[in-house]
Amino acid sequence: MPIISTLQGHAAVLTLDFADNHNALSTALVTQMLSALQNLDPKARAIVVAAQGRFFSAGANIHDLKQGGWLSGSANPEDPVALFEALACHRLPVIAAVTGPALGGGFELCLSCDLLVAADTAWFALPEVGLGVVPNTAMARLTSIVGRRRALEAMMTRRRIPAAEALALGLANQIVPVGEVVAAAIALAHRITDEAPPGALAAVKSGVDRHLRTDWTEVRASVGRLPEAEWHEGLGAFVDKRKPDYDRFWKVAGGAAEGS
């Protein structure tokens, strides 16, 4: 089962358990995660999103990204964006417990949670542009956390952001040893919920979201504007384990610029 759902005190712990595929956000994982969110134990007051294995999540499943219509720009209930929106808009506080690398959609999964506890060995990266695609949820949510220039740098350079820098940037709330991450996230959940009522917590979360509103329709539409030939080359090169050839696209772009 890609998702393990348990109740730890008043925290619903939803654990990605697809370590053989680095917890890639496949159609099956997204569907089961959404089902777990809809069927939480009624005693749950907060949600902790954790993961088994070396990776928190290596991002979108490339096969599903290519074949599942995720790049069409239309709404798809099996698209990771559906999961990101469900987490971001959930009435309960959502805490990411990041024990390993969070890449691409895995990073965006983190951005869709309200708070984040990370291992001191964790790191974050947005490699999408190098594959000819875009981190559409990160485009909507990262800037409000780190600022425009740092967000653009992360997306354009695709570099790794280590845990200590993530804390300094405000991406993470706490950094702890890897073996203490889930326990620290559960403790944070209880610190939030044990002496506060649900309505006030939900109002704080929804109020902040209104001020920093994520346009989920635009998040979905943005991928539909990508040049199809570019992402076919980028994703195809990734599957074929070869270096992508983007020079031909730069020649076309350069020619258009010179003629404009």
Q: Kindly report the number of other CB atoms within 10 A of residue 102's CB atom.
A: 31
Contact, 18 vs 24, CB < 8 A? yes
108 is catalytic: yes
Helix pair 27-38, 80-88: axis angle to 10 deg: 30
Catalytic residue among 108, 153, 218, 233: 108
Taking only Cα atoms into account, the Rg of the chain, rounded to an integer number of angstroms, comes to 18
Q: Kindly report the number of other CB atoms within 10 A of residue 33's CB atom.
A: 23
Contact, 133 vs 104, CB < 8 A? no
CA gap 133, 189 in Å, rounded: 35
Catalytic residue among 78, 85, 128, 233: 128
195 is catalytic: no
CA gap 91, 87 in Å, rounded: 9
Contact, 27 vs 68, CB < 8 A? yes
- Catalytic residue numbers, as ranges: 108, 128
